[in-house]
Amino acid sequence: MLAGGRIAIGGATLAKGYRNPVSPDPFAEPGWFHTDDLGALESGDSGVLTVLGRADEAISTGGFTVLPQPVEAALGTHPAVRDCAVFGLADDRLGQRVVAAIVVGDGCPPPTLEALRAHVARTLDVTAAPRELHVVNVLPRRGIGKVDRAALVRRFAGEADQ
């Protein structure tokens, strides 16, 4: 089941709730667990569900919602980008602006923000193209190997104001 793009799961083996309840309660609707994952069902009868990303990672920019994962996939096809992460930073005009941190491939010159914006806009709406770029040596990662977006937000949040 998808509710507003959010994935909800149900079935005979679904738990009835958490031992230590949380708010909002993802089990509030009897028989369903509402996840923080966003998804889309393929059209037709295939029943294939594609997980698009986490709702808590979504970037609200200029009235649009941008998920980091498709932007990262687009950036990752640029020949100079070895690794990347996309996240949102507060913006007085837009609410949040789309920001990219990239690791440049060996022997490659760092791409410009304009070049990366154009590259992303070839496959995604220009709204998803980063408005700010940071070149880093390595992306911070959490224990399970996922990029630590919160660390990137903490690192770069004040830089635009300086």
Q: Tens digit of pLDDT per residue, the chain (162 long)? A: 666 678 888 888 988 888 888 888 888 888 888 887 778 888 878 888 888 777 778 899 999 989 999 999 999 999 999 999 999 999 999 999 999 999 999 999 999 999 999 999 999 999 999 999 999 999 999 988 999 999 999 999 976 544
State how far the Cα of 48 lies from the Cα of 25, in Å rounded to an integer: 27
Q: What type of residue is 44?
A: G
Same domain, 25 and 76: no
Same domain, 65 and 87: yes
Give the per-residue pLDDT at 3.
Answer: 62
Same domain, 100 and 150: yes
Same domain, 147 and 79: yes
State how far the Cα of 109 lies from the Cα of 5, in Å rounded to an integer: 39
**Owner of token pair 């990366």:** 116
Last residue of a domain, one of 34, 53, 72: 53
State how far the Cα of 144 lies from the Cα of 136, in Å rounded to an integer: 20
Give the count of alpha carbons within 13 A of 92, CB side only. Answer: 2
Q: Which residues form the domain of 22?
A: 2-53
Same domain, 73 and 13: no
What's the CATH code of the domain at 130?
Answer: 3.30.300.30
